Each structure stands twice: as structure tokens, then as C-alpha cells.
Chain A
């Protein structure tokens, strides 16, 4: 099992908040890796609206290749954060040349492009870099998107955070997703490390997806270039979310109906029964099975948590207006927001999706039994 925590706050916070929460939940992860997703960024990034930020790990050669490549396609560096690491790496953490977080100016000729085209091109650049990196083992690229930073590394979360000096002003963000990894099925590969990212959406999962192979086959055969990777069975959760929103035009409230549909006899009496039956049938290949707690963030800065059909994984949500946190365990929540009204904590159950909006004023609990908002 992995451990997850997420924060959404009106004021930018240090990612160390989340790392500390992972640290108190260390019984639940084996220190084999940590992944961070930061959005609604504070500090210098706030003024870079629309500038895609590239996050990744590079060798010195890789960095040169990156620069040449980006220059060729017309991207200019707008701002960069250099993470200088101590000479000696702590035990369990590999030696890297460069942890890169760099914002780019979009090429001039992109100015006239429709937003959808820009989104797809940004995805294309990330995939191209990823491919180049895999070819020569000199680049690992996590995200390339405005207002999103991702950091992933092998090792104990606290050790890695201290080593990389994550407690710095420039990394403060209003939304933080963090995962402490328990290495399970697949070899340690940073591309298998949560959170997973596609076009501004990120999700991370505590659990295992036993329906992984058929779901991967479905997504891979959609003909969408972004549905690749799958070094981890949890990556499909991010892509299913993307698919339901981008291709089916469904809302976040529908996500759980796609991955864990209600049983037929319940649908008979559900207010949206006939519609949901169509969703269940045509999206049957996206039904997940097995224990999963999914925490994710949408481009509109909503944070959510979805539970599996049998509630086999822990998850708790709590906080106060202006600051809410999601965590695998209560102790993680306590570490992030000790001074909250604990009686208002929510442990979403097998039918529930929890959503905290961008205004961070309340926690919305959606049950699958509720009437759904209309689909546009």
C-alpha cells in the first residue's frame, strides 16, 4: 500500500507540509519513492500565466539535448528554478545531474492557435521529450503544462525532500498532491511513480487495479497519443478521468459512475438510471476492480477523492474554509491541519466522491445515489 496526502489552501504552502504528513504515515509506505504535484502555484510562478512549466530530471547531456530541441521548436526559457543538491546523495537516493523546473514562453507561431490545439501540442512536446529521454536514458519528463510542477524521486520522502531542499519559497503552492510509494508490482521506475499527469489533470492512487490489462488495452486503442506509458496500473485512473472529461464531456460527478458503476437493480430506481445504464454498458471496459482510493486534481483546481466500490482503502478529508486536506490516514491529516474541527472530518465510503472547489470553502460529498448534474 502507498500513502497519499493532498492539500488545497487559499495561501501558498510549502510542500514540506505534505512531506511531513507522509512521514507520520511512514508505516504505510516503504520509502521507495516520493512523488509531488504542485499547482495553483505561488511565488514567482504566479506571474507566468499560460507559460508551460517543464518538470523533469536530466543528465548534463540530456539538458543540452533539451535546450537544442526546445530552441528548435521555438520555446524560450522564461523562468527557471535550479535545485542545487549537496555533493553526497543520501542512502537510497540515486545521483542525478539536474532536477529541472523551467517555464517557457510559447513559440510565437502558436499565438493564433485555438486553446485545444495548444493543449494537444504541449502534450506532444512532453511525449516527444519522454521518448527522446527513454532512447538515451538522459531525460525523465513528468509534466509540461502551465501552473503545474512535478517532482519525483526514489528514496524515503523526508530524506529526498531535505536533500532537494523542497522547503523553499519558490515551491510554495496552493494545491499539493504527495505520494509515499510502496513499491509493488512493477520495478522502480520514476514513470511508475504517482501522481500521474495528463493535460493539467493529476491523480494518485492507493491500491491496485486488478482490471489493469483490459483497461490499458481500451485506452491504448483510442488513438489518443497521450494514452501511453502504463508503467503502473494506477496511471489508467488519470487517463480514464481525462477520457471521461475530454472525449465524453462528463463531469467529475460521473467519474465514479464510470469506474465503479452501480449494480443493475440500483440503476432501475436511480433518477438517472437509463443514462447511467448506457454509461455502464459502453464504458464497461473502464470498470476498475480491486481496492483503490483515488485522489486527484483537475485543471480548474478542484481537488477530489474517490473510493472503490468496496471501500477497501482508507481515506479521510478534513480542514476548515480556506484549507482542506485529504489523507490516507487520520494521523496524516492531523499532521497537516492539527487545529481543525475533527468532528467534521469525512471518511468517504463506497459510493462517495469528495470534491473541494477552487474557492476552498466547503467539502462537497457526492453520493452515486444522487441525481447527476446535466451533461453538456
Chain B
């Protein structure tokens, strides 16, 4: 703008944006790849006019000037087109001529992303680096009197149980009397958390499913993946691979028409049914698939018209009260598969988790409880829900486990912890910490996206456009031009890498603690933390 020009309230300079795109005139070949690839059109071809003074040394020749034009990249400052820092420009640049840099000062953009009275919505996570899980150490190292085990050579059986485990007396009694024994699945303690077909692109979903199948069938690692709320592709429902899938039902019931109709044709039972009541990233808010991503395929699978936003209600509307909802839904889902499939609810981390848990202990069909902490990720949510709502997972899981211990039902109702596991890449350490605090297994999504498909999200608000279907890596997009960037075979390979590496790391944690033949659920004497308040809260050792 001109120095005496008009300023609107939302007129921002490049300095006010969170990301500034640095571009080098010298290196740029003007190939145009960066402007093409930018998912939010933050940069465009810039035509710059430049005045060059030409002043000769002598006095005979009068000074003059020349106006030249050069071409390059211009970054937009309109809040709607602000750079998201994904760095795709830099990825595609043949000459490394362009790169977004984060402003060291808090941006001014944040005051303006509510145009039209619409608060910011985005995908991603809470954007808070650090966290209590990374600070928990494993302090009970076997020394001298009990030799540490060999993570490389000793036998290990790091498996968890998904399903209602009966007390030993009751189990033996029912075995003798041929009574109903609740279904129990032996699974790997790292579950791929619910990311829906729709939130994820078809290539991403296919890649994960292929990886899961390979892990199970070729490597014998019983990895399970939850569908999230978005149904399940019809062919998968009718394939033998369904046994590796946890089908999720949530308040929008998306995709369940298809699932129910497929039941008679199912070759295998699904691993389990997860009833989603809440999500850690946006507690108290229902799922959200924004219209950008509802293409024909997604619409068909979900049983909705294409091109409309799909907000799930915050609660299951068909039921009068939550207690009733839990009991009835668990029972009807169990009944749908002839009581052969474990059914458990998933709730967001909350100070009321214990009330839900107490309720489940008295429900003989409840197969577990998944709790998703505030650091969980999402494909789409209101920024305020993501940043300010929710409960950390560590104390929620600990309280729940200790409640079960008081009732003598620890591990009878397995607890699954989610939300922020591996958020700083310490996947195995975070998982082991939660298991020793009392979780039977952990659920993880973001780390899987980052490690298997190169998701760019970070804890400092990078990218986060999963909601509008423009994912530059093709992970959360429904646009074929974008999701074809992602090779499902490579995703599958990376998923196998992730689980094998995780397995080794988990062994490297539990072996020195002298554990190998059973998952150290609730082995809290192994844990320590350098914060006395946290130690007291979690009932673990305070170490400095």
C-alpha cells in the first residue's frame, strides 16, 4: 500500500504473520513450482518494479535512472491466505531458493482469523510443546540381585488384552459350567487410534491397512487399527482383514448403515467395537468433517449427500441419558455380533472419567475404557476446543487405575490411554510410562501420521489445515491431485518400520526393569519424576 493509503483493521504486514517466506532472487529459476504447490495460496508470482540509479563519475554525464522489472515470489498478507509454514515451497524448489521462517514474535494474525464471525477451525493438536509424559523416568533398573534381562535375546511377550477379563474364580466357574465368557483379544499394546476414512485420504487409509495386515500376517505382531467415525470401505468389511480393525461408532453414526448391512456377509468378526463418546482434542464437541472433504466416495460410505459439512452431535442423541446410552449401546453392539466381539466406550479425558468407569465396572458387557487426553489430535475442530478444553491423560489414567485397584478390578476392565503419546517423538517411553501408570495399551494417531506419511504438524501451529482438505502431503485430503502424492505402499512400509522400532524400544525399557513375560501394567514402582507435585499426584517416586 502507499504510505498515505487506506488501512483496514485487518491490514497486516508480513511482519505480523506467523510465517515469513524468504525467497532468493539470485537462486530462483522462476519455475513456478512453489506457487503451484502452496496449499493455501500464500505466495504468488510477483512482478516487482525497481529503480536503479545510474550516476557517472564525472560531471559531463548527468545522473539518470532506469526502471527495471523483475519477477519473483510475493507473499500475501491477507489473513485468509497467510502462510502456514508447511514448507512445501521449499520441498519442491529445485534450487532451494525459498523457505518459510517463523516469526520470533507472537503474530498478529491470531486476532484476525475470525472473519465473518467464524472462529478459527483447524486440524492438528493443542500446540503445547513438552508435557508430563516426557518427564517420567524409569528408575527401577535391575542391578546385581536381579539381573536385567536382555532386550535382544530373551523371550518377550509384550501383549495386552482387549476385552472384559473375568476374575479368575469366575472365569473357571463359567468354564466348568459352560457359561458365557466375554470375548478377549490379545493385541499389541500400541493401537492406531481412530482416524476416519474421510478425515484421512484413501491412500493414507489403504497404506495403514496394508501395513497392519503385514504386521499381523507376516510378522505376527497383533496390531489393531480403529476406523474412527466414518464407516469402513465395503470390501474391507467383507474381507478377512476385518479382524485387525476396531470399528468405531460415534454420535453421527456415519457409515453404520453400510456396516450393519454387511454383518451377514462378514467372513471375520471385527477386533472390537469402540463407541466414541468423546475425543481428547475437542472434548464435548462432536466429530467434524468439513464439506471440503465430503466427496462422492466419502458421501457414499457415510451414507450422506456430498459437499455438506458433517458435524456429529456432541452426544448420542438417540438415548435419554449417558448411563443409558453406555449400557444400551454396549449391549446392542454386543448383540449385533452375537456377544463375540468386545465393545468398549471411548471418552475424552475429563474430571468425570471415574464416574464413567464406576458405571462400567457394574456392566458385565463393558470390554474396556479408552480415555483420550487433551493432547490428542484431530482432523477438524474449533481452535478454542483444541487449545483450552480437556484433561491431561496421565492423572486421568492413574486415577482410573487406582480406582480399579480399590475395587479389585484392575485389568479386568482394560484402560486404553490416548492423547499426546509420542507427541515429541518419544513414543515408546510415553507408552511405557502410561502402561506403568495403569494403562493396558495406548492409542496413537499423530505420531503414526508423522512417521508413516510425513505429516508436517508440529507443536508450534505448523500446517494444521487437515480440516479443509488441502493437506500438502495428501494425508488428510480427498482431492486426488493431492492424495496421489502419497504412495500407500510406502506408508505401509513406514508403518512396519514404526512398529518394529517401537517394539525394540519398548523391550529396551522393560528389560532393564526385569520385565519380559507380561506387560508391566501398573508397575508404578518403576516410575519417577523430578517434580514433587506431579510425583505426589501420580503416586510415583520423586527423584532429583
Contact = CB atoms under 8 A, between A and B. Distances in A.
A249 B518 contact: no
A217 B410 contact: yes
B515 interface: yes
B418 to A, nearest CB: 22
A214 B165 contact: no
A106 B85 CA distance: 83
Nearest to A287: B518
Interface residues of B, number: 42
Interface residues of A, number: 40
Interface stretch (A274-282, A321-329, A334-342): A274-282
A218 B165 CA distance: 14
Between B166, B410, B517, B522, the greatest number of chain A beta carbons within 10 A of the residue's beta carbon is seen for B517
B171 A281 contact: yes
Interface string A273-312: 0010011011111010111000000000000000001101
Nearest to A375: B172
B517 A289 contact: yes
B11 to A, nearest CB: 61
Contacts of B175: 275, 278
Interface string A64-96: 000000000000000000000000000000000
A310 B521 CA distance: 21
Between A184, A214, A281, the greatest number of chain B beta carbons within 10 A of the residue's beta carbon is seen for A214
A291 B169 CA distance: 28
Given A278-B171, A278-B181, A282-B166, A287 B517 contact: yes
Interface stretch (B21-29, B147-155, B285-293): B147-155
Contact of A211 (B161, B184, B407, B523): B523
Contact of B516 (A182, A184, A222, A289): A289
A289 B515 contact: yes
A212 interface: yes
Given A221-B408, A284-B161, A210 B514 contact: yes
A185 B514 CA distance: 14
A211 B522 CA distance: 9
Contacts, number: 106
Interface string B142-165: 100111010000110101010001
A248 B172 contact: yes
Given A211-B515, A214-B523, A221-B405, A285 B411 contact: yes
B445 interface: no
B69 to A, nearest CB: 73
B359 to A, nearest CB: 19
B142 A290 contact: yes
Contact of A182 (B145, B170, B517, B525): B145
Interface in A186-217: 207-208, 210-214, 217
A275 B175 CA distance: 8
Nearest to B175: A278
A264 B165 contact: no
A225 to B, nearest CB: 14
Nearest to B510: A289
Contacts of A373: none
Contact of B168 (A212, A248, A275): A248
B50 interface: no
Given A1-B145, A214-B523, A281-B161, A263 B155 contact: yes
B171 A290 contact: no
Contact of A218 (B140, B172, B186, B410): B410
B123 to A, nearest CB: 38
Contacts of A217: 405, 410, 522
B513 interface: yes
B261 interface: no
Contacts of A282: 165-168, 170-172
Contact of A247 (B146, B169, B186, B513): B169
Given A184-B145, A218-B408, A375-B172, 19 more contacts: A207-B146, A208-B145, A210-B146, A211-B518, A213-B524, A214-B520, A221-B405, A221-B406, A260-B517, A278-B171, A282-B165, A282-B167, A282-B170, A284-B165, A285-B411, A289-B516, A289-B517, A291-B146, A312-B147
28 contacts: A182-B145, A184-B145, A185-B145, A208-B142, A208-B146, A208-B514, A210-B514, A211-B515, A211-B518, A214-B521, A214-B522, A214-B523, A221-B409, A249-B172, A260-B517, A264-B159, A278-B175, A279-B168, A281-B161, A282-B166, A289-B517, A289-B518, A289-B520, A290-B515, A310-B149, A310-B154, A310-B155, A310-B516
Listed from nearest, the 3 A-B pairs whose CB atoms lie closest are A221-B408, A210-B514, A208-B146
Interface of B: 140, 142, 145-147, 149, 154-155, 157, 159, 161, 165-172, 175, 181, 184, 186, 405-411, 513-518, 520-525
